[in-house]
Amino acid sequence: MKLKPKITIADHFADLEDPRVERTRRHQLIDIITISICAVICGADTWVDIESYGRSKYEWLKKILELPNGIPSHDTIARVFSRLKPEQFQKCFLSWIQSISCFNPGEVIAIDGKTLRHSYDRGGAKKAIHMVSAWATSQRLVLGQVKVDKKSNEITAIPALLKVLELNGSIVTIDAMGCQRSIVKSIVEQGGDYVITLKNNQPSLYARVEELFKQAMRNKYYGFTHTAYSTKKESNHGRLEIRHHLMLSNIKELVDPENKWENLQSIGMIESVRIVKGKTTIETRYYISSLPNNAQRFGESVRSHWGIENSLHWVLDVGFREDDCRIRKDNAPQNFAILRHISLNLLNQEKTSKTGAKNKRLRAGWDDDYLTKILATSVN
């Protein structure tokens, strides 16, 4: 293999199990993986795009890869990725992530689901694909993603995703779909803390938490251990948003007398007051948490979670056209998602250019030296 002696991203995928029978392996698996990563970084969104990139950059690719039989066809690339086991590909991806990252204690890992809107199959009556992703908010790294089974939902997908993540010392944030005792237990067993949105999918717990906050406020917090924190944001368009964060602790016996929720230490409330053109709206949300009573830390964790929408989902939609992707066959959707995540992580870690992912992809496609710089980010 003609890869450079330094540890490169390709090294982390060198031990992948090749799904092809040996007599059909005209192209090395590591060549197919490396070409695909480079192509997606440079703007490829389909298997045909990847082949076209490989042919146009053949001389440059020959400097780092063997390519004994030239560039593989798009049919070959598609077959390989449809048969490649996503669990193995994800494991290699995580190995690479661990080599380029150093998470500080308290890193917020946001878990959130997203539907690929144009991935449905009109003719075959197949529903759109739904994915659940993990996002390290301060590092701006995608940590992993799993496909939601067509006969299931996020409740079963989230534990599968958590299982492959390193959670020790981190704060895991999830919306109300993840407010399940098994999910909370999994986070705690892996050494993580949690901040999870509470809604009426847990009616008894929700009612107790809501009533406890009302009681605390009526009594001006007498007899309650609490902290408070507020933020104020004013835009140029006459919009004002004030968020009041409140946390109560020493409430375990009051909200969870049967001790069903692992390491439940505190409950949180966020009251969002929005004033737009003189009209005021108020929204109240409740949370359960294993964190100690610190309203500011709680508020910052929740705010970090909301960032997954702009920092990950929106970038994948606009910068990578994820919603327009029609790849559906077998394991291909999950594996192509991993290719996008590798590319996004590399683009985010390249700090010399202040442009967005879409412009970085264009530049990488035009400028081999810039692509080399992006790939060098993978060196630990």
pLDDT at 151: 54
pLDDT at 150: 65
pLDDT at 69: 94
- At residue 21, what are phi and psi to the nearest 5 degrees? -70, 150
From first to last of the 380 residues of the chain, give the pLDDT tens digit.
454 434 467 778 888 899 988 888 999 999 999 999 999 999 999 999 999 999 999 999 999 898 999 999 999 999 999 999 988 898 888 888 877 777 778 899 999 987 766 555 555 556 667 788 899 998 888 888 887 776 567 788 899 899 888 899 999 999 998 999 999 999 999 999 999 999 988 999 999 999 999 999 999 999 899 999 999 888 767 788 999 999 999 999 999 999 999 999 999 999 999 998 889 999 999 999 999 999 999 999 999 998 888 888 888 888 888 767 777 788 888 899 889 999 999 998 888 888 888 899 999 999 999 999 998 875 44
Cα–Cα distance for residue pair 320/69, rounded to 1 Å: 30
Name, in order, each residue with C-beta under 8 angstroms of 211's C-beta and a sequence gap of 6 or more.
none
Structural domains of the chain sorted by starting position, each given as residue range(s) with its CATH number in brackets:
9-84+350-376 (no CATH), 100-317 (3.90.350)
Provide the 8-state DSSP code for 217.
Answer: H
pTM for the model: 0.86
What are the E-state strand segments in 175-265?
A: 193-198, 225-234, 239-249
Provide the 8-state DSSP code for 165.
Answer: S
| Overall residue count recorded for the chain in this entry | 380
Other beta carbons less than 10 A from residue 306's beta carbon: 14
Cα–Cα distance for residue pair 136/132, rounded to 1 Å: 14
DSSP 94-125: HHHHHHH--PPTT-EEEEEEEEETT--BTTTT
pLDDT at 121: 57
pLDDT at 7: 42
Would you call 146 helix, strand, or coil by DSSP? strand
pLDDT at 286: 97
CB 192 within 8 A of CB 134: no
Amino acid of residue 27: H
pLDDT at 352: 84
Cα–Cα distance for residue pair 54/61, rounded to 1 Å: 8
Q: Please give the structure tokens belonging to residue 376.
A: 């060098």
CB 348 within 8 A of CB 93: no
Cα–Cα distance for residue pair 356/11, rounded to 1 Å: 28
